[in-house]
Amino acid sequence: GAGVSQTPSNKVTEKGKYVELRCDPISGHTALYWYRQSLGQGPEFLIYFQGTGAADDSGLPNDRFFAVRPEGSVSTLKIQRTERGDSAVYLCASSLSAGVYNEQFFGPGTRLTVL
């Protein structure tokens, strides 16, 4: 499997619960991105990492959302006290490096449904 992988593929949870979404980037890619896609819309940027550090988290909608990448590879997006409005497909992408001319490769996404 050379591509970006995401688990779980589907997650159904109840309002108020905590969820974690995982992303495994392409091996060797130092930059990792999270996007969120609502039905009928294009993806919206949430956060990106260069290595272990969050280089830009300005897209996170509020402090219920948090993401980590402790070893510079796998990343976890964490959502506390989920709300129905958090329901969307969460997409992860990776690229060789951030910056000029980097092509981003996307995973299949995690569909989150908050009941």
Partner 1 sequence: KQEVTQIPAALSVPEGENLVLNCSFTDSAIYNLQWFRQDPGKGLTSLLLIQSSQREQTSGRLNASLDKSSGRSTLYIAASQPGDSATYLCAAEETSGSRLTFGEGTQLTVNP
Positions in the binding site for partner 1 (CB under 8 A): 4, 31, 33, 35, 40-45, 48, 50, 55-56, 59, 91, 93, 95, 98-109
Tell me the C-alpha to C-alpha distance, in Å, between residue 101 and each of 22, 51, 96.
26, 18, 10
Q: Checking DSSP bridges between strand 110-114 and strand 10-13, what pairing results, if any?
A: parallel
Pick between residue 41 and residue 80 the one whose CB is nearest to partner 1: 41
Pick between residue 66 and residue 105 the one whose CB is nearest to partner 1: 105
Cβ at position 58, least distance to partner 1 in Å: 8
Task: Please say whether the beta carbons of 64 and 80 come within 8 A.
Answer: yes
Q: Residue for token digits 């009928």?
A: 40
Pick between residue 58 and residue 62 the one whose CB is nearest to partner 1: 58
Pick between residue 45 and residue 66 the one whose CB is nearest to partner 1: 45
Cβ at position 82, least distance to partner 1 in Å: 22
Cβ at position 62, least distance to partner 1 in Å: 18
Tell me the C-alpha to C-alpha distance, in Å, between residue 9 and each of 14, 18, 98, 102.
17, 17, 26, 26
Cβ at position 98, least distance to partner 1 in Å: 4
Between CA 72 and CA 94 the distance in angstroms is 12
